[in-house]
Structure 1
Amino acid sequence: MTDTSARLLKLLSLLQTPREWPGRELAERLDVTPRTIRRDIDRLRDLGYPVEASRGSVGGYRLVAGSAMPPLLLDDEEAVAIAVGLRAGAGHAIEGVDEASVRALAKLEQVLPSRLRHRVSSLQNATVPLTRGDGSTIDPRTLTTIASAVTGRERLRFAYRSGDGTASRRQTEPYRLVSTGSRWYLVAYDMDREDWRTFRVDRVSEPFPTGSRFTPRDLPTGSTAEFFARSMSRAQNDLHIDVTFRAPAGFVTARLPSHLGAVEATGEDSCRLRTVSSDSLEWVALRLALVDCEFEAHGPVQLVEYLDGLGSRLTRASSAGPRAAESGPGTASPAAPSPTRSPSGHG
């Protein structure tokens, strides 16, 4: 850094204190002439810092509010105080602390010296927060990592735990963070599922920016707020799937999409799938049928009913297939089988 640059930074640090500085006192502090101070003040104004000068024997310089927000210089105590405050707010999704504060925290922690980062962590670890009672707390580092990936348009990998405890690994294109006042959510494009998803950030762990950049895709709906509202509405109708397969666990696992979770072996030739899915009822039913083995759906009720109807339709379709086509004009239909009598003799 040149002497001029270093002097400007020190001058700016002095001016950011809430007082008026006489030009002579600034000159003494920086060991330069009052004329150099006037030139440095002009340079700061050219950079967008609104420095106001007052005339008279007690006049001087002070930094005032302007039309735009210029960069600020913080001393050690100020930086620690701001970082702790932002971490506390971000970690518990306090009302009014939204994505902008998380971006600010991400920027601040990126430039914090290691000694200050250690002080912030020590203060955070020594504090017992009073939460809202739902136990939904977030590691601020997780939040700032996600925010940085969103801002930098960088693909993000992370571990995720669904509502029923199913663990998975996700690779995403993070789009936006959403705060509801009580929780944080990530709206992202899930690359493995080739679809948009909404993730609760308190269920995210081990976030890792891959370094791979991406061009943001268009949301299925017009705005993030609209997409999030629809996503939450769908989440309330998630399918709590419970299915038993009459086949080995390895056979079934190889034929099911990985995001449906792992099956549990219940015997040498049987296994069970218990999972929560936000996919459509029709899609889930089709995927279960494509496993190509006998299975029994225990729930939910709407899945059992849909599979029953689907089975009836498929049976009718097969009975009206090749045999019906063979029974054309002049072709005798096969004789209907005789009814089987019950032991009592009634039909």
Structure 2
Amino acid sequence: MDTSATGRALRLLELLQTRRSWPGGELAERLGVEARTLRRDIERLRALGYRIQARRGPVGGYQLTTGSDLPPLVFTADEAVAIAAALASSAANGSAGAGELTLTALAKIEQVLPSTVRRRVRALRSSMSLGGGGFAPGAYPAPLDAGILGTLALACRDSERVRLRYMNTAGTNAGTEAVRRVEPAALVPRESRWYLICRDLDRGWRALRVDRITRVEPTGQRFPPRAVPGGDPAAFLATQLGAPPTRYAATILIHAPIDQVQAYMGGFATDFAPTTLPSGRPATHWHIADTRLEVLAGALLWVRWRFEVIDSPELSALLRERATAFTTAARADSTDNHLRGEHGPARIDTCAPGGVSG
């Protein structure tokens, strides 16, 4: 354990980020210091901009709280690879401005990573084929082992054969693991999953789901790089998966200036554009897309202003259909609250076909 003041401070910060609250005695024990030294280390972190709240008493302790500043964070090697994977896949989505922002953020992370971790992150970037479209908005990525992803990225970059344990999910072998010897070629993010494009030494070219790979063993054996059939890893994946699901797109006209919309929704949404209403008042266009109409409808719950769906008959039809169910539920809740002598919810009104009111 690093017993220097700087080493202790970094270890303390790492501990504070793993739990909501820490008893002072337990923190001191973890760091191998006395309470007085712990208090000095806490003050050292506060001076760097971290907001650490202290509570006195028998159940007291320390808690890292949120704030307006963004001081440095501490990540493990696997966490850094996971963040890099998420950023790189986000850049593949192609949302307006998102690609440039995420790649800039990824470059900043790479600059400060230890050399061993930086090697894995850069290997991930160089082995990725972004033509798969990245993760769709609203899609939840399948659980993934960042260590496995990083090892596969290195194998792709270095043309190194690996031995895999791959979980079978269909047929008579469902639930069992198969050992595969493969020559990795590329990693492709698509929808909510990562895929390894590789040449299986026993089965030929394959697209393997990374979330089904339970173990990777580098062999140290190099192989001459081979072109993926067709020359494009993303296109090869598309042929393996079959026709992609229908992708729905819509433009939402929000009756509010773009600065207000971005201030309220910019933390979780992108692709806004300024526009003007026929009355001359400023408004905002919001471009959304997904393979599921329900995801688009759910996103509209965040819009606090009046809005209209101006170019998606499918989404408009779904909103009209679900508006009846929402209104019925709200009225039923209002009746129950009235019988209990409580205030019911605010009334929900629906607009004419093609839009809903916020």
Give your verdict on TM over 0.5: no
Q: Which of structures 1 and 2 has the bigger CA Rg?
A: 1
TM-score by length of 2: 0.33
